[in-house]
Structure 1
Amino acid sequence: MSAKKVLVLSNMYPTEKAKSFGIFVKNQVEALRERGLEVDVIAVTNPSMDKLNVIMKYLHWLLKTLVHLLVKGRKYDVVHAHYVFPTGMLGLLYKKLWNVRLIVTAHGGDIDRMANKSRRIRQWTKTILHEADHVIAVGQKLYEQIHEDFDVPKENISVINMGVNRNIFRPIEKALARKQCGINEQMIPILYVGNVIRQKGLIELIEAFSKLKKENPNVCLYIIGAKKDASFYHELLQKIEENNVQDVFIYDAMNQSEVAVWMSAAEVFVLPSHLEGFGLVALEAMSCHTPVVGSDVGGLSYLLRDGAGILIEPHNVQSLYEGIKRVINDAEVGKQLIQKGEIRAQENDQQYLIEKVVQLYSPPEGMNYA
């Protein structure tokens, strides 16, 4: 019988002001509630990364969680922690004190970056991964890293990504979508959605777009996302100005239904990340029937393989330029990418994947989804 009371802990969760901050966690929470589970959430909702803000928001989150642990901790069947460290540490307190089942979802940055910040954090990460009742990895490469680098038994890890909400991310007729977005019908829109940070390969994207623009004056580039790093954002603007690149438009993060329209409007969606746990945003673009060009890293390597997208070398402007150009110049290539992308979207439908998560909350003996 499924667990009925679930506590979700996360160091990212969206608000009306920060719409995209951990939106994938909120999507899963809402999907769990639709399944009839009682789900409470204790999360960080402030996306600010300046030093003082980080200290204050994490301190507030820690104190709130500790009070909750002591007062209400015993009432849950399952605690589901998103991100191994630091969230998993808080989840571990519930497990130790109240013997609740602990599920931890690793999203990528917690394994690739956070665990490598210091020897102590790496050891804590390993402890959490071993103490959890089950670990969810959002991508195949992440699953392998957790098994190989942290010695977690394969039977204790499942590969379950956050899934795409196909009720929101669905195809809209391109001309209509472009009209809604205010895009001139003569233009060829290229789209990036995600945080405006260096690790997403945006400097390379500007350089690749600059080359495309010289050959085809009708291309335009739209960047939609939260400006997480003010100094990098100014560097990006400087790059655009120095190279005199025209028709680059940068917008703040939008809600999902707005993003879905932009995805349908785009001729090609690009994700030139330096590292990526899974790349859910690429899957969302596929679900909107837009071809995807993305880096051959992390979860994207698996998501875009076998012709579901075009894989390019990370940090490589020429490879990115050629990948985008292929889609723009060859309608047949675009058509094939859309067909295979639709199959990927079906395989990763949130409704299907949420069942796997629910089963992990109270699994039969020996169950494994890896």
Structure 2
Amino acid sequence: MSNVPGTAAVPSPKSRIHGCLLGGALGDSLGYAVEFDSIAAIRSRFGPKGLQDFAALDGGSHFSDDTQMTLYTVDGLVEALEWANAGVGADANACVWLAYLRWLNTQGMSAPDPAPRPQQRWIDSQQVLRHRRAPGAACLSGLATGEMGTVHRPVNPDSKGCGTVMRSAPFGLIPHIPAESVYKLSSDAASLTHGHPSARQSAGVFSLLIHSLVQGRGLLEAAQLAADHVRSDAEAVPELRARLDAAIRWAGEAAAQGSETRALLAPEDLVRELGEGWVAEEALAVGLYAVLATASGGPTAPGGQAAAPAPAEHFKAAIAVAINHSGDSDSTGSIAGNILGAYYGEACLPADWLEALEAPEVIRGMADQLVAVTTA
């Protein structure tokens, strides 16, 4: 029996991988249109409810560096798995670092000698990924050092920007590895560019959340497991604990009331309680809140219980919450889209939104590569 409300079957691994990457790109793209706008400016442009749909964007929207770096994360993992499937050991984090160095080249920058010069791969020939879409300063500067940052030898030691979280969903999409390995892979990769503990811990927890969903757990269960991991970690930074707990608490209050009376946080209150999303733990909290708070529909199910919304309607509602605030709207939208795509699979992706998405064939191309090395 499915754990996905309103669907007949559990999504396949392929559907979850495609759903996660495409869903993240959709949330990123819609959020990128308002990334640097205040909520007042968003309302002035799109009306009291803010930006709700791609149809409101006359010129369409591009995806940002969030999707670019997520796809390069996929590529680094694919290369490591290709080596592993061939019987050759490879350092997964080194493969991801080399992929990020190739992404750095797409941004018109290169690491100094003696940093390696990675060989080109399929992803590097995709021109749509070579545009500069407001890349994060820490991602650029950390890679531009030419040093492979680690937990013990960090680059940007004080940076905890959301550039780690927004690229880390792919670590949770790798099947057949234990949760602690998912966390380590993700947090180690975060250290390539960001040295603050919250940057790597938030990325690791986000990947754990995706991993739990791919293993078949429900949204709230996966969120609680992620929060439990943080609570049990003696080294967890207090701000990450506080933001995750607040996201789950406020989402519970909203979802319990159903869609007809749902008391979603106003954008101003969301920013006050969870943050603007420019730093790692805030971006994770906002994206998670948006997903959980919109997870129930109206009181139409038997027994008067709030019914689950249709997957595509849930997706649209969650992305609207995730992007309409004064903050890093593309990153919070991307995180929400990753979560729902991993949970529902492709069933949640609105068809009209997919038609508006930039270069879906490139995203699907990378998804297919990950499918090929993980499900064969």
- Scaled by the length of structure 2, what TM-score is found? 0.29
Greater relative contact order: 1 or 2 (C-alpha under 8 angstroms, separation 6 or more)? 2
Larger Rg: 1
Of Structure 1 and Structure 2, the greater helix share is in: 2
